[in-house]
Amino acid sequence: MATVVTVTSGKGGVGKTTSSAAIAAGLAQAGHRTVVIDFDVGLRNLDLIMGVERRVVFDFVNVISGEATLNQALIQDKRLENLSILAASQTKDKDALTEEGVGQVLDQLAEMGFEYIVCDSPAGIERGATMALHFADHAVIVTNPEVSSVRDSDRILGILQSKSKRAKEGGKVHEHLLITRYDPVRVENGEMLSKEDVCDILAVKLIGVIPESKAVLKASNTGVPVILDDDADAGLAYGDAVARFLGEDRPMRFVTPKKQGLFSRILGGGD
Amino acid sequence: MALFGLFSGKKKSSAAAAKERLQILISHERQNRHGPDFLPELQRDILAVVKKYVAVRDDHVSIRLDRAGDASVLELNVTLPEN
């Protein structure tokens, strides 16, 4: 039985694809056979973030429409043998994702022995996003500590709780909150919502806090999931989040400002 | 933290303002989430009728639909101004 983990947010640009790539790579690193699927038909980017953009021959929609087999479309990651990528189609329109078609592909992936199926949802609440949500067992809600992102996350939670397959069958999708682009200095100065504020408002269990980090852009520039960067705070924070997802208890790191020297504190440096 | 900050006086932080605004907005949106689609329109129409006779503020009218057993209760709350 495969577990479907949907990474979603409502709002665009908050780090869904970066988080999908990191979580999928983290689960594979932990020894689980994992596949990550791009649901953003027409605007695919997961291939680029995973560094496999030149290896895409067939995609998700090709498989649904029967033009290719799943084995032909799956791209095996070259760094992690447990990890495969299924790219979205760049040309076809979103209506190509049917509930029946998506369901069949997910079933087939489970039969192939994948333990985790990570679904990278597109922004918005259109078909691609609702399809990614529909089959979720777990949902990772990616939120920036910023008003519009928090509001959209709440909207997505509403959809999860009413429209997902689990909800319709009287069950519940496991919800996890992942706060990204967190700046502890600005939080301390009262310029940014704190992780406690966001948790209070959304009432979802926090699975991780990813600090604002230069490593994220560097990782996407080079097509390497940031979780594989052991020197980066963001990579380590994703590692912690995946460990918590798998049931480990780990303290939050990188959530308080780094210690400043006396001199820069007096002069007000670091703001 | 900084020396300059000591003299600028205490202001409510913008993060606190963000949290307050979000809490109000989201609780409002959650109320409507499970109601039927016509509820917001109904609320607008009722507000228009009440306004014909009494000057009430938009946010002083709340409407909700509760289900108890086999009956639904439409609850309308209008806070009238003093005098």
The residue among A70, A12, A88, A55 whose CA lies nearest residue A223 is A55
Phi/psi of residue B81, nearest 5 degrees = -70, 160
Give yes or no for residue A13 having a pLDDT over 50: yes
Q: Are the beta carbons of A147 and B16 separated by less than 8 Å? A: no
Interface of A with B in 165-204 (CB under 8 A): 187-194, 197, 200-201
Residue B2 and residue A162: Cβ atoms within 8 Å? no
User: Is pTM beyond 0.90 here?
Assistant: no
Residue of A141, A201, A259, A260 to mutate for B, most B C-beta atoms under 10 A: A201
Strand partners of residue A8: A141
Whole-number average pLDDT of chain A: 94
Query: Cα–Cα distance between B18 and A148 in angstroms, integer?
Result: 10
A271, pLDDT greater than 50: no
Range scoring the smallest mean pLDDT among A15-29, A64-78, B46-60: B46-60
Nearest to A150 among B5, B13, B22 (CB): B22
The pLDDT of residue A141 is 98
Distance from CA of B69 to the nearest CA of A (A): 19
How far apart are alpha carbons A1 and A24 in whole angstroms?
A: 17
Name the pLDDT band for A266 (thresholds 50, 70, 90).
low
Count, in order, helices (H) and strands (E) of chain A. 13, 8
CB spacing of B13 vs A151 below 8 angstroms: no
The residue among A154, A159, A163, A266 with the most chain B CBs within 10 A of its CB, best to mutate, is A154
Does A81 score more than 90 pLDDT? yes
Residue A43: which of A84, A93, A103 has the closest Cα?
A93
- The whole-angstrom separation of Cα A172 and Cα A65 is 30
Percent of chain A at pLDDT above 70? Answer: 94
Determine the pLDDT at residue A270.
45
ipTM beyond cut 0.90: no
- The backbone torsions φ and ψ at residue A222, rounded to the nearest 5 degrees and listed phi first, read -100, -5
pLDDT of residue A5: 98
Tokens found for residue B15: 């993060």
What integer is the mean pLDDT of A26-32? 98
Q: Do B15 and A197 count as a contact with CB atoms less than 8 A apart?
A: yes
Between CA B36 and CA B66 the distance in angstroms is 11
Question: Among A146, A139, A141, which Cα is nearest to A174's?
Answer: A139
Least confident of A138-147, A155-164, A218-227, B26-35: B26-35
Model confidence pLDDT, tens digit, residues B8-54:
555 679 999 999 999 999 987 887 676 666 777 877 888 888 888 88
Residue B7 pLDDT exceeds 60? no
Size of interface A-B (CB pairs under 8 A): 57
Strand-pairing partners, residue B71, are B68
pLDDT value at position B30? Answer: 84
pLDDT at B39: 73
